A and B are shown apart, each in its own frame.
Chain A
Amino acid sequence: MIPRVRENGPQVEAEHASDTLATLEPEKLAITSAPFIHEGSSTTRIMREVLALSLVVVLASWWYFGIAAVLLVAAATAGAVLPELIAGWKDERRSIKDGSAVLTGVLLGLTLPPGLPLWMAFLGGAAGITLGKLLWGGLGNNVFNPALVGRAFLQAAFPTAMTTWSSPSGPVAGGAALAVPSGTLAPPLMQANVDGVSAATPLGLFKRDGTITELLPLLTGNTEGSLGETSALLLLLCGVWLVARRLCDWRLPASTLLTVFLASLALHVIAPGSYPPPLFMLLSGGILFAAVFMVTDPVTTPTTAKGAWIFGIGVGLLVVLIRNHGGLPEGAMYAVLLMNAFVPHIERRTQPRPFGFKAPPSNS
């Protein structure tokens, strides 16, 4: 039936208002902005996966260096987490939950010498997070890799302890799985006695008398060095995992390692006596660890494809330069930190070409 509109118009409106609201309960519907679906990735999950990968390296360092390795990583992690917790105490963004502070602590721990006292590791973690991240405004705002800032702090504060190496004495060498060396437990601010047989790292040996360590121990990790850097094979596998799972931009580790290889190859070909062979350069020291776990940190590396290449090439060249001509046998840490400083400028000059533009924009 067609209602006579002019007579009952208002009634029509009243009806209209009540029936839909009552039956469909629209107040239950969520109002958000498009898109209404999500790929499903999450920052927490990315951090957790990288963390799981780094824990595999922790396990390997226990095998080579004993329980002290695990304790050092734990101490560095505790040091990293504490300031993050204090800073985020009243912050609703729950910055601790993103997992980045834990990851920073574990990665820092893996760059430390096996005989370092625990309190130094703890201090390094706290310094790395505070100076390297929190003071910049938290996750995503820092320019320098926080784990490496922590390591650089330790290197400056305790140069002897940070360059005293012990040979693998863990289960791999028949050592006890759970024995804690007394130096590890040295009380804060006391002169520490580093346990075990003090020895030079492969890069240190080369610096001293030109000795080239065999490839097999370099690959397996049965050499002197920082906790996580010794097993080249394991680090390569971790790198493959990160790339395959798209947890990092493949260009970053690839360009870094390729540059180290090519630059040291060129130098070795020109002057084989003064420059070590490229494979030795690639597999010894901390460069593989840096390429897999430091250069791949998205926060402190360029977001653009071209920028990634520039960053990696820069790190590679600096490592080769510092190792061959610097005062220290290893340069991976400083190479990454120096290139971190260039990231904003690299990025500004390598912005993608917007669709429909012939050339990349000049000003951004």
Chain B
Amino acid sequence: MAFARASLKNLPSFRRGVHPPDAKAATCGRPIEPMPFVSEYVLPLGQSIGAPSAPLVDPGDTVSRGQRIAAPGGFVSVALHAPVKGVVTAIEPRPRAGGQIVPSIVLRADPFSNQMPQLSEPLDLGSMDRDSVVSAVQNAGIVGLGGAAFPSHVKLAIPEEKRVRTVIVNGCECEPYLTCDHRIMVEHPKEVIRGTEILLKISGAEQAFIGVESNKPDAIEALTSVAPDNVRVVPTAVKYPQGGERMLIAAILGPEVGAGGLPLDVEVLVNNVGTAFALTNLFDKGQPLIDRVFTVTGPAIAEPKNLLVPIGTKISDIVEHCGGLLPSAKQVVLGGPMMGLSLSRLDVPLVKGASGLLCLDSVAPSSSEAFACIRCARCVSACPMGLNPSRLTRIAEAGKAEDLPDAHIGSCFECASCSFVCPSGIPLVQWIRIGKTLVAERREEE
């Protein structure tokens, strides 16, 4: 604690950004509990960026917990594993968060099983070349667990001509309300450090930094007490979106990775703490990605919790386990309040990239109540990418797709800081998303 407090001044950060209330008090002190097994699990074949996975099972097949049930559908794609011992009941279209109906493997859990995972042998990293490491990570189904769900092995497949000097492990968890990464760092600091060392070994980097926002002193202390010499725990300023990959690199190392660029361009590899934890489970225990830590919180849930939930568990089952929604519930969001997705139905499954469920008792003012833009420039002072969101919105509203690339629409990673501060309630980030669609459509036409 003393360490974190002493360094609160001049903590590394990035320019601009916003300060939403962190709202983490309800769950940051609650230990991770295992979510009890339920009867049905649904695994959408496309859970991450890239191609959907290809099923390896048929309806009626018996599967064990941890068994590979779908193979990667391409290089930018990962395997899927059965989260429970049970039977494949169907491979059919099912609703997922966001409203799409997507092909999914449906499992019925064996109610008599103790659900001990069937694990493969731990992997000996020393004896593996990079290709076999990449393939092992891909086949363990590991994706970025911070929200983007980008397949982790793609980042690890570092081209011959490139090198990585620095590994950054992202423990900022700058989204308000969410505490899953926080709890992983507090309860499993050794595994996070071990995951960091695995990343160092795979990438050949010399040093690693773990960036943690200074509002998590217990996590900083836990990690610092077990970190070796070449892994430094860096308390960062508490500012949204500090956990953005580009913002974190700029804060810790300085260089700015521009639009279209990759951290690799500045010889950096960035992974989330949850991903580091998953890598430790793979290499030391032989366990693929079948569970993830998930925060259930917000003013409209009976019992806020941090849970270790099998992938594929339905949100409705998780809500029920947390005592149900309170009558005041107005909105349920998968993910954080800044970048999450509002749910129209709760019978959708937990996917790998979802880090929390936010049950809200109020709805932020909708776009139909928006006032005119008074050019107050608060969005300009908020945008971490140095864009002018009101200008992008004006161009997108006018449908001028040809002017959007020059206004750097491609730099926007939709952190929503602009909409968060707009006093006129203009849905700026939504307009920018529409603008990106316009640009893509125009490109297709050409």
Contact = CB atoms under 8 A, between A and B. Distances in A.
A175 interface: no
Query: Majority SS of interface residues in chain B?
Result: loop
Interface residues of A, number: 57
B388 A2 contact: no
Contacts of A26: 343-347
Contact of B374 (A5, A12, A298): A298
A303 B377 contact: yes
B377 A98 contact: no
Contacts of A38: 364-365, 419-420, 425
Contacts of A6: 59-60
B82 interface: no
A327 interface: no
Contacts of B364: 32, 35-38
A273 interface: no
B330 A24 contact: no
Contact of A354 (B89, B360, B408, B414): B408
Q: Give chain B's interface residue range (CB within 8 Å of chain A).
A: 35 or more
A304 B380 contact: yes
B373 A30 contact: no
Contacts of A98: 371-372
A37 B338 contact: yes
A32 to B, nearest CB: 6
Contacts of B257: 356
With most chain B CB atoms within 10 A of its CB, the pick from A37, A299, A357 is: A37
B326 interface: no
A20 B345 contact: yes
Interface string A325-364: 0000000000000000000000000011111110001011
Given A44-B371, A299-B374, A352-B388, A36 B423 contact: no
Given A354-B385, A355-B411, A36 B342 contact: yes
B284 interface: no
Contacts of B433: 33
B366 interface: yes
A16 B40 CA distance: 9
Contact of A364 (B21, B406, B416): B406
A37 B427 CA distance: 12
A304 B15 CA distance: 15
Nearest to A97: B371
A154 to B, nearest CB: 25
Interface of A: 1-3, 5-6, 9, 12-13, 16-17, 20-21, 23-24, 26, 28-39, 41-46, 93, 95, 98, 100, 138-141, 249, 298-299, 301, 303-304, 351-357, 361, 363-364
